[in-house]
Chain A
Amino acid sequence: MPIYAPTLPPAPELHQGHPPALVLMRFDLTRLWRQKIGRFFGFTFLLVLLWKVARIYIDHLLQTNQAFKPMQDFAKTILTQGADFQADLLNPASYLLWFLVALVGGGLVARDTLYRVRPLMYAHPVAPKDYLLAKLGFASALPFVILLPFALLPWLMSLLLAGLNGPVWATAPLRLLPAMAISSLLMGSLAVGASSMASTPRAGIGWVLGLVLGAGTLASMIHGLTGIKAVDALNPIMLAETWPQLFVGVDHPMVAWLPAVLGTAFHIGLWTFVAARRTRPSEVVI
């Protein structure tokens, strides 16, 4: 037998809270935390990060310790150097990062569709643009936050060990952070667009993986048939790996500047548009 309270206390003050997009993002973070998928990915990314940092130390030893002098030339042939080395810092198992984005991002919108809570959100002071902003923000912030230590820790280590002469350029974060932002936005928009087309989180994961791998396969086929390398800009995985290369000035990036800009704009624009259409109020209430 439920016990009913005698009455409700006075109403609290409204319009004191955080912006709706922030509330939505925070709730998604709580959900993600509850899913407990971070253990495997956290362990794997940590191993990759340790390897990146260890390489800085190895490089330092090769440069400074006479005992390793004979190995220097050999090491240069197997370890990336210069701009390639900087770009490689942001390559923490690219496919694994895409998989994590699919796993988390695929359910972001689809879960709300499954539980039918989106119309209820719009019955609150939440505009469709707040909803879209929250989902895009969360899906993009996730890869950005994961990539952040990969850009900053090796740089910090390099500065501490070798100052300005270290293997990581002193200006590397200034080049890597914008590249990370673009790649993350690309991943986030694709995940949210794909998730908006699914009605369950599992289907959302399938949609993200299908779109990423499908676009990549399509780009490879057209490239193979026509010989036009710029078509690779349709491949989201390749685009995400290209942006660090472009910003640090790698000699032969996977995709050139113009196709990369066009391909990224195409993907971000298309999938944001799809997500906006699929989450508008008239879509969710009928």
Chain B
Amino acid sequence: MAYSLSHIEGHTVAAFNLELILIAFENLEVRYAASAAPALKGLTLSLERGIVGLLGPNGAGKSTLLKTLLGLLTPSRGSGTVLGVALNGPEAARLRARIGYMPEYDALIEDASAYEQVAFWGELSGLAPESARDRAHEVLYFVGLDESRYRPVSGYSTGMRQRVKLAQALVHSPELIFLDEPTNGLDPDGRRRMLDLVLRVHAEQGTGVILASHLLGDVERVADQLVILDQGQIKAAGSMAGLRKALAKRVELRFLDPLDVTQEAALAELGTVLEARNGLYDLELTEADPGGAFRWAEGRGATLVQVTPRHDRLDEVLLRALHPQTGA
């Protein structure tokens, strides 16, 4: 059964199979008691199994969305499912055993060793004590903490602390993990290792991953789907490839001679002119077909010598999703 995915400022991006749906919610609204404005404003979205990048500036609502999906916050309106289970329904507690959560902040028990606390989180997820202890060793070894796992985490470096947090999210082999800013505070090498682990978890375990970050490079490296949030609203969502295709219709047109005023005005027939300089015109095409530009030039008596597709980087995609009016 096909399931309509979502919107990008009015564009339909893709359709996924319901069997593959990790998360789906409709008209989801979340309010904090202390604030009059909702933190999430009527979100409608569904995401298929894979690595989903949840992108947005600070305060966009990423953490709020993750907490809502975990059942830590109750939606004031709307409904949703995670792994087919209704949010805040009677099965929500059992659902949390199928989810791993790596919070943004340091949620570590400072007076305990990595081994002790990972085993503890495993037991809280429903593992038998012996299984939890065995699994703690395995998962800490997997994330690269070997002998240091017996030391109290208060003496750990930032990278080690992040890996302990990832280990506790993985200890019970969840079907889905929420990673909230997993590369916070890491140096470039630490970031690369952390993202490698995320890719391995998905590739080897088939675990769905929701990765919330404001670091575009991280999301670009690992995610195959993207959701862009800003001010509690979804600005764009869909597969990375589909998103680029939908948002990146920018081309650069080079004419042999500068266009006259009439021709420049007629460029609006092709799309929106973003920038014009010395015979070069940046356009947002109405149609994705660049060949239309040659036909237009022929009809207008202009000599078009080059059409260069502008393959947007993710930061451009993000900025344009956040600020569509500027086209930046």
| Contacts from A to B (Cβ < 8 Å) | 2-5, 7-18, 20, 23-24, 27, 30-31, 34, 111, 115-117, 119-127, 281-282, 285-286
Contact = CB atoms under 8 A, between A and B. Distances in A.
B134 A122 contact: no
Contacts of B146: 2-3
A281 B73 contact: yes
Nearest to A127: B93
Contacts of A120: 101, 103, 107, 121, 168
B131 A12 contact: yes
Interface stretch (B52-60, B109-117, B211-219): B109-117
10 contacts: A2-B143, A2-B146, A8-B170, A14-B98, A18-B123, A23-B123, A30-B112, A34-B111, A123-B72, A282-B74
A23 to B, nearest CB: 5
Given A16-B127, A17-B129, A123 B99 contact: yes
B105 interface: yes
A58 B295 CA distance: 115
B45 to A, nearest CB: 21
Contacts, number: 132
B108 interface: yes
Contacts of A282: 33, 73-74
Nearest to B140: A5
Interface in B117-133: 120-121, 123-129, 131-132
A15 B205 CA distance: 20
A8 B107 contact: no
Given A282-B33, A285-B73, A119 B97 contact: no
B173 interface: yes
Given A14-B126, A124-B124, A125-B93, A5 B132 contact: no
A11 B108 contact: no
B127 A14 contact: yes
A13 B74 CA distance: 29
Given A12-B135, A17-B132, A125-B125, A285 B67 contact: yes
A240 B70 CA distance: 41
A23 B97 CA distance: 15
Contact of A15 (B97, B103, B107): B97
B173 A11 contact: yes
**Residue of A7, A8, A116, A122 contacting most chain B CB atoms (<10 Å):** A8
Given A120-B121, A122-B70, A285-B67, 12 more contacts: A5-B141, A11-B173, A12-B127, A12-B128, A12-B173, A13-B128, A14-B172, A15-B94, A16-B126, A17-B132, A31-B112, A123-B101
Given A117-B108, A127-B93, A23 B124 contact: yes
Contacts of B33: 282, 286
Contact of A115 (B71, B110, B128, B132): B110
B100 to A, nearest CB: 9
B111 A119 contact: no
A31 B33 CA distance: 34
A196 B127 CA distance: 28
B36 interface: no
A20 B129 CA distance: 12
A13 B130 CA distance: 11
Contact of B72 (A5, A14, A23, A281): A281
B138 A8 contact: yes
A8 B124 contact: no
Interface string B137-148: 011011111100
Contacts of A5: 138, 141-142
A152 B124 CA distance: 35
B72 A125 contact: no
A11 B121 CA distance: 15
